[in-house]
Structure 1
Amino acid sequence: MNIAFVNATRRFGGVKAWTLDLCRALDARGHTTWIFARPGPFLDRALALGLNARPGWFGFDYNPVSVWRFARFLRANAVDALVANVGKDLRIAGVAARLTGVPVVHRVGLPRDMRDTPKVRRTHRFTRPALLVPCQDIKDGLLAEMSFLRPGEITVIPTGKAPAPQAPPAPRRPRAIAVTSQLNPDKGHADLLRALRLLTDQGRDVRLHVAGTGCDEAALKALAQSLDLAGRVTWHGFVADVGTVLDQADIFCLPSLSEGLPNTLLEAMARGLAPVARDVGGISEAWPGHLPPLDRTLVPVARGPEGLAQALDALLGLDDAALGALRAGVWQWFSAVHSLEARATQFEHFIREMRRP
């Protein structure tokens, strides 16, 4: 199949990470994919991975020149489906696809990525996209917020990640925790730092590796200083390959206050890190709660730093053999249930069903 992915957003987010992973998997299966994006980190990353990526023809909504350029490309390359991310994509590339008879997929990362406005309704009615989301929670949110959507228009295919090629190594001492979310207030890093203070007060010898940047970076570093945690926290900043940080830890913590189905959590479990997270969004849909004590490490938001500390303590209290067995169990479960290969197969079936007359 020939599939074009179009993404006009400027921020590097979860849908872009999903696009890169999926295109690599589809290309390896003999399909042809193209990525159209704005110049910047996403396009650079796609090219560095050897993907067929190029600058998109964007501009003002319904720009006739841009629509014509996309339509010409779709016809010339016999494109079987076009995958868009945001309204801008639909109002240019989606229109071109509709005019050339190419099926349109609208990949939505979060319910708030859409708005129930006249412009959105008109574009949806014209382009007639099939919506694709990574978890049931996002599907439910879209149906609650968008008056014009119906359940049959939205398909759930969870995000997949390529598991590490081998089982995780033996646990390290002192124990290490990783967090790889953007340093923004809604990601909950402040509560994680306060939880770390509680754990050290209880005698736990633990280190924290923080990857990422964001608007809260300076405030979080100041908080770590005020909590006397400077010697226990390593700030890695922007990391092109988060695996280099994850490989320095045994435990992954996602203290976010809101999420969809986060790539960061999936990347950590693909490497066999034992997870702690807040029970928000679709996280519970991809949680290995059948592996004790992970049935106790998905934390209600209302429990605050104390809840995170208690969940982390359940993992920090395991001896080397028990933590090693737990990490291996997470890695085996993820490989069997959430691998990128399995999700790529589901996506193939999804596109083929769309193309049926």
Structure 2
Amino acid sequence: METSDLANHLIDALDDVLSSPRDVIALAITTICAGGHLLLEDVPGVGKTTMAKGLAKAISGKVSRIQFTPDMLPSDLTGVSVYDQRSQEFAFRQGPLFANIVIADEVNRANPKTQSAMLEAMGEGHVSVDGNTYSLPDPFFVVATQNPIELEGTYPLPEAQLDRFTACTSLGYPPADVETRAIAQAAGTDPLGGFEALCTLQDVLHLKASAGRVFISEAVAAYIVAILHATRTDESVTFGASPRAGFALAAMAKAWAMLQGRDFVIADDVIALAKPVLAHRLVLRESRFNTSMGSRYDVLDRVLEGIAVPRASQESASRSSSPGWLNRAR
């Protein structure tokens, strides 16, 4: 199966069993193909954890779920060294981060010290315990859920950790017909009960490698840099998008192009991914802890409107085939 076909098959299969919006599912698969991590931000009860579990079941491999709580310690994530009396040596016992897919549920209910323990794992692919470094499995994908900080018992994620999440989105409340079908189902029915794995770990690694080979021209790269610089100089922004954000946007644009069956990136790919990749990284002037995604989207709308789209990319877009599910995702 071609890489684009496999990726779209994952989207179609998950769309059939989940009540989540198709564009959010597509963004999640794109993030996996880009080798990144996804943050789902929404109020409780709209299906964040169910979607995360669906992604985990679709990709065969070791899965762990971490329910974050205020009393959690960093060692609860990374693991600990335990003294073995028989061997008279310390042995390392792996924590739940040692999995291919980590479901970090309600990540912003943990204290800041524990939240920061995830930085090395997400950014470097390894953890350090008692002076020793331990590599995490490959692929390693974190899909985290968080509640709005207005809810009781939540801590705002630090900017450094938000920057480690490749993309951030929300599910929103489901349409009335979808919610009606869910309520009408038999009590206790698991929507993922009969859902089987759709690909292997090697397939995931192949998807990541294929996305990495997608060509991005210097003109499109310059377009990404122009967007980054515009967020840094916008009058309503205190801290704009970092260089890491630029690499993330480029990687996501490559994966997005691959899902459409193209081996090159066009400006439309960058535009389509700008908000989910950049919005959560912006710190607005009116409040250091401003979490209004709508305000951040307004900033990005203004930024994108003020930057000329690369001409060559426009010509390539006019010659390329229909983007298929991309139209539906929009």
TM-score, normalising length from structure 2? 0.26
Q: Which has the higher contact order (CA 8 A, sep 6+)?
A: 2
Q: Which has the larger radius of gyration?
A: 1
